[in-house]
Amino acid sequence: MIIDEASQCTEISALIPFSHNVQKVILVGDQNQLPATAFSDNAEKTLFNRSLYERFLGNGIEWFTLDIQYRMHEIIREFPNNQFYEGKITDDPSVALRVVDDNKGAIQRLRFYNLEYTTWSEGMSKSNIKEAEFVTNLFIEQLMLKGNGSFYRGLEKIKGKVGIITPYK
């Protein structure tokens, strides 16, 4: 049995396959991405929000990490690679072969902003209101500049050309 995204489900949820007399269970996941989610006031204190994947990693179970990525432009990959993967992630050669319609340098206009205002919303889902406000204001400001003062003219000019990426934590 294979449990995909095993680092995103709580430990108790991951135990379900073991009740079916399986011979082998393979956990696939990434502890550096989305954590297990538990809607409980004391989940962190009681470790109820821990995944079985995390428990195994913490107890010396043999594991390995994939180190080739196929999706991101190398400039975008650089941040998570250095921040979470100790610089060990490399790009598949197919990444460099992609043609990017970047109007001669859009990828060089990539910017990172570090905002540290994570808050809890009413529905117990993690959200970052300050980050959302910052991105919205930055986006509108850029639209106004690109559109010569008209929000909607600016929107048409950059439609399909803007991407906003935010790390989970």
pLDDT along the chain (169 residues), means of 10: 90 87 90 82 85 91 89 86 92 83 56 68 64 82 66 69 70
Distance CA 154, CA 144 (A): 6
Coil, strand or helix at 120: strand
Q: What is the predicted pLDDT for the residue at 87?
A: 95
Tokens 């950059």 correspond to 158
| Count of helices and strands (H, E) across the chain | 7, 6
Is residue 86 domain-resident? no
Distance CA 33, CA 45 (A): 21
Query: For 138, how many CA atoms within 13 A lie in the half-sphere containing its CB?
Result: 12
Please, are residues 91 and 74 in contact by the beta-carbon 8 Å criterion? yes
7 contact partners, CB below 8 Å, separation of at least 6: 27, 29, 30, 31, 33, 34, 35, 36, 51, 53, 54
Provide the 10 A C-beta neighbour count for residue 94.
9
Please, are residues 36 and 9 in contact by the beta-carbon 8 Å criterion? yes
Provide the residue range defining the domain that includes 164: 113-169
Is residue 131 domain-resident? yes
Give the 3-state secondary structure percentages of the chain, helix then strand then coil, rounded to 5. Answer: 40, 5, 50
Q: What is the predicted pLDDT for the residue at 126?
A: 63
12 contact partners, CB below 8 Å, separation of at least 6: 48
Is residue 122 domain-resident? yes
Is residue 165 domain-resident? yes
Q: What is the predicted pLDDT for the residue at 165?
A: 74
For the chain, the domain total comes to 1
Is residue 147 domain-resident? yes
Is residue 20 domain-resident? no
Is residue 133 domain-resident? yes
Q: What is the predicted pLDDT for the residue at 100?
A: 61
Distance CA 32, CA 47 (A): 17
Is residue 69 domain-resident? no
